[in-house]
Amino acid sequence: MSTDPLPRANIKDVAREAGVSPTTVSHALNARGQVDAETRARVERAALKLGYRPNRNAQRLRTGEAHMIVLLSSMPFAVAGGPSRLGFMMEVAAVAAAAALDRSLALVLAPPMETGRVPMELLDVDGALVIEPSAGDPNLDYLLRRGLPVVTIGKPAEDAAGGAAMPPYVDIHSGQTTRLLLDHLHAQGARQVAMILGSAQRNSYLEGRAAYLDFAEAHGQAPLLSLVDEVKGENGGREAALAMLAAEPGIDAFCVPVDAFATGAVAAILESGRRIPDDVMVATRYDGVRARTSVPPLTAVDLHLEEVSQQAIALLFDHLRGDTATRRVDGPAAQLVPRLSSARRS
């Protein structure tokens, strides 16, 4: 059964029901022009009967009034914040704010919270960009229940929208990015590659896990996979890596897409007396502050977030204007950024 919402009544529907022109409907409902009391009442009754609500976003675009959109993520602060200074989110925000301003949109940044739940009821916004929502994402659910235009960066988890139609998104190709990292580690000589992932039902984790299991099967390796609660942050990555190294001493590489977990894995490897990359290599997904300032610096991936951010703003702007035909935009292909953490062995 389809979960798509019923078609929303428009101004022409109201005009037809009331027996007047669309212009008269607009004037009657917005207190503009000369509309007699009887006609105004008839229009209001027709609008109520059809459940018509004026498209406030379209009105603002036509009149040139300012828009307010919000950028948020339900990832807890332990992953999204910390030493990375909001990392992925802040890099998106810097570009998105400029791209939004070009379209007369003001962007509000909702910082990561300890629980991942942002107090959305405090924000009077017209639309939103949501970074990698998980299944049952409370922020996304709130926005969709309010009927606001939403675009996600990264494909939403299949049931992220809580039964509503999946919101439009920019695909950042998480499965392909994970395969890029795994293939690189294998090419560098790794033969027992372990993976540490978040336990939340985010599409990036689900695609990453599927890519890893395919990789392990293709190379005749038993899967070595640990799922970690995001709220544990770097310490969660450290604990997982220590446990895996104790159980499987032959591990010679870690693919850790979450950069906070990767930093913890580096600490665990060194704590166990092993060397990076001589004994164990490490690679992560996001080429941010954590990857660049790690000792040694971590092999990572350039996700081309500048282009992704611009694509997301353009897609949201279309939906704010009522142009909802495009539901998915392909982000650019990721590029590997090799560093000392996976330097080729002699």
Rg (CA), the chain: 24
DSSP bridge pairs for 150? 128
Query: Cis before residue 112, ω within 30 degrees of 0?
Result: no
β-strands 299-302, 335-337: how paired?
Answer: antiparallel
**DSSP string for residues in 24-89:** HHHHHHHT-S---HHHHHHHHHHHHHHT----HHHHHHHHT--EEEEEEE-S-HHHHSGGGTTHHH
- Helix crossing, 259-271 with 233-247: angle to 10°? 50
**Burial (CB count <10 Å: 0-12, 13-18, 19+), residue 115:** exposed
The whole-number pLDDT of residue 2 equals 42
Full pLDDT tens readout for the chain, 346 residues: 344 444 567 888 888 999 998 888 877 876 666 788 888 889 888 888 887 766 655 555 555 454 789 998 877 766 766 555 557 888 888 899 999 988 888 898 887 665 556 666 667 788 899 999 988 888 888 888 888 899 999 999 876 555 567 899 999 999 999 999 999 999 999 999 999 999 999 999 999 999 999 999 999 999 999 999 998 999 999 999 999 999 999 999 999 999 999 999 999 999 999 999 999 999 999 998 899 999 999 999 999 999 999 999 999 999 988 899 999 999 999 999 999 999 865 5
Give the relative orientation of helices 22-30 and 11-18 as an angle to the nearest 10 degrees: 100
Supply the pLDDT for residue 333: 95
CA geometry: angle 88, 156, 103, nearest 5 deg = 60
Q: Distance between CA 304 and CA 22 in Å, rounded?
A: 45
Non-local (6+) Cβ contacts of 60 within 8 A are: 66, 67, 126
Dist. CA 150–CA 169, nearest whole Å: 9
SS3 147: coil
Strand partners, 196: 226
Long-range contacts of 163-169 (CB under 8 A, 24+ apart): 163/3, 164/3, 164/5, 165/3, 165/4, 165/5, 166/327, 167/130, 167/140, 168/315, 168/319, 168/324, 168/326, 168/327, 168/328, 168/329, 169/327, 169/328, 169/329
Distances from the Cα of 275 to the Cα of 126, 137, 196, 256, 306, angstroms: 51, 39, 19, 17, 35
pLDDT, one tens digit per residue, over 71-101 is 988 777 667 665 555 578 888 888 999 999 8
Q: What is d(CA 122, CA 106) in angstroms, rounded to the nearest whole number?
A: 16
Q: What is the pLDDT of residue 147?
A: 83
In this prediction, residue 51 carries a pLDDT of 75
Q: Which residue is listed with tokens 């978040």?
A: 198
Q: What is the pLDDT of residues 104-124, one digit of tens each?
A: 888 988 876 655 566 666 677
Q: How far apart are CA 146 and CA 312, in angstroms?
A: 20
- Strand order from edge to edge, sheet including 253-256: 225-228, 193-198, 253-256, 281-286, 299-302, 335-337
User: β-strand 253-256 against 299-302: which pairing, if any?
Assistant: unpaired
Type of residue found at 192: Q
Q: pTM of the prediction?
A: 0.78
Query: Which residues partner with 3 through β-bridges?
Result: none
Q: Find the Cα–Cα–Cα–Cα dihedral 152, 154, 156, 161, rounded to 10°.
A: -10
Please return the burial class of 77, using the count of CB atoms within 10 Å of its CB with bins 0-12, 13-18 and 19+.
middle
Measured in degrees and rounded to the nearest 5, phi and psi for residue 193 equal -95, 125
CA distance 107 to 166: 23
Q: What is the pLDDT of residue 40?
A: 86
